[in-house]
Amino acid sequence: VSQPKTTSMKIAVVGTGYVGLVTGTCLAETGNQVICVDINADKVKMMQNGKLPIYEPGLDILFHRNIAQERLHFTTDLGSAIAEAQIIFLALPTPPGGDGSADLSYVLGAAKDIGKLITDYKVIVTKSTVPVGTADKVRAAMDSQTTVEFDVVSNPEFLREGVAVEDFMKPDRVVIGTQSERARKLMGELYGPYVRQGNPIIFMDERSSELTKYAANSFLATKITFMNEVANLCELVGADVDMVRKGIGSDDRIGRRFLFPGVGYGGSCFPKDVQALVKSADENKYDFKILNSVIEVNESQKTVLSGKVKKYFNGDVKGKKFALWGLAFKPETDDIREAPALYIIDELVAAGATITAFDPEGMNNVRNLIGNKISYAADPYSALHDADALLIVTEWSLFRTPDFDQVAKLLKNKVIFDGRNLYDLQKMIDCGFYYNSIGRKIVS
Ligand code: NAD
């Protein structure tokens, strides 16, 4: 039996954010011709000049290689980007609207524009995270503008910022929602090179595919939130959440991953996706009780660390000076959207404290967002000078084994509040720190 011949394809990617740029670059990496289009002219110019607008490990090598080999191009002109493309990916924002539901204006606006421009058969792929029923809306938006044949496919993206390139090149699974045989064949061929180890390409209808993405993110947000509640209870009953975590994680049905308690989930996806799924459920007169609780618990988890700090200083942090390690919502990214650090900064600065922060990649974005509401340090140690306490908010590897003698020398008080449980309790006792972490004994 002859195998279907896979040949390089012409692809357009609309939106070059964390998802679009990784998608475009990784699709070029296997030999496809890719044009990425964005309305942000500064960003496009930067990429045309060979500069990456985001920090994502490993992306630079692929980005430069595919530009040099002329498979990866950037433009602000949608028309020229899609003229030759067989497949058009929409990797556009779907931020929460005023009521928490996903704002589809970017996706549907682009669909309309594409409808006006196409002159031959195209597959339009929604990579953005979109609510159930969006494929029908994209189809209707295009239908209102064209009589040319096209198919709409739902292909949610599961990449994780920080390991996005690896996740795209070797996905655990690819989900493709379509009922068109023609689109199914094209998408299967496109993704073939990425699943050579045998990870599945799971074909399904559009609605199931759209819901799969929300269910996945909501499940993960629930898992984290569950552990945050276990941690809070550990503190009250004198148990150690790290032991409980290992104790339950060794059960295959639970798994070791995603069991680390902390300062609440953040980022550009979990908060908005959980909210949007609750909203979708509401619209269908279904009360998604567990997710409403997840949202509520996560809101209060964001204040757990600042609450501990305030309690330590008897409710008065006015004039206190804090060092803060970690601004990005997680390690290995410069993304600060919904980052827990921003909430902690708000709380403590509003209470009269001053903060000097260090983050390996997130400082520029925070500076652009809140300016000199806080100070920024050139390295972790210079943030510590004369500080009343050190707060750890993001678990960058760099913070895992600091020079504790230096830390002790530079801080005014040997006090650490750790929102990520980076350090061994005995080590902290030996080094003479007061050390308050999440779901574990306070030691001093
Ligand atoms: P982003 O904000 O980083 O990027 C969006 C890009 O689209 C920006 O560069 C913006 O300038 C551009 N844009 C806006 N309107 C445009 C238009 N009309 N034409 C062309 N470009 C336009 O967003 P992101 O983080 O890449 O997320 C995109 C989608 O993917 C969202 O739906 C998100 O939920 C989903 N998603 C994100 C991740 C993630 O880790 N970031 C993972 C999976 C899915």
**Residue of 212, 171, 214 whose CA lies nearest to 193:** 171
Q: How far is the CA of 19 from the centre of ligand 1 (A)?
A: 6
Q: Can you give the pLDDT at residue 4?
A: 53
Which residue type sits at 92? L
Residue 415 in contact with residue 388, Cβ under 8 Å? yes
**pTM here?**
0.96
The answer to whether the annotation marks 272 as part of a ligand binding site is yes
Catalytic residue flag (residue 269): yes
Decide: 307 in ligand 1 pocket, CB within 6 A: no
Question: Annotated binding residue at 158?
Answer: yes
Query: What is the predicted ipTM?
Result: 0.99
In this predicted structure, what is the pLDDT of residue 2?
46
- Tell me which residue of 231, 236, 228 sits closest to 266, measured CA to CA: 228
Query: What residues in the chain have per-residue pLDDT under 50?
Result: 1-2
Q: Which domains does the chain have, with CATH numbers?
A: 10-204 (3.40.50.720), 214-300 (1.10.1040.10), 302-436 (3.40.50.720)
Nearest to 17 by CA among 158, 152, 128: 128
∠ CA 424-426-431 to the nearest 5 degrees?
95
**15 C-beta closer than 6 A to ligand 1:** yes
Can you tell me the distance from the alpha carbon of 265 to that of 254, in angstroms, rounded to the nearest whole number?
A: 19
Q: Which of 43, 268, 277, 334 to mutate to test the pocket of ligand 1 (most atoms within 8 A of CB)?
A: 268
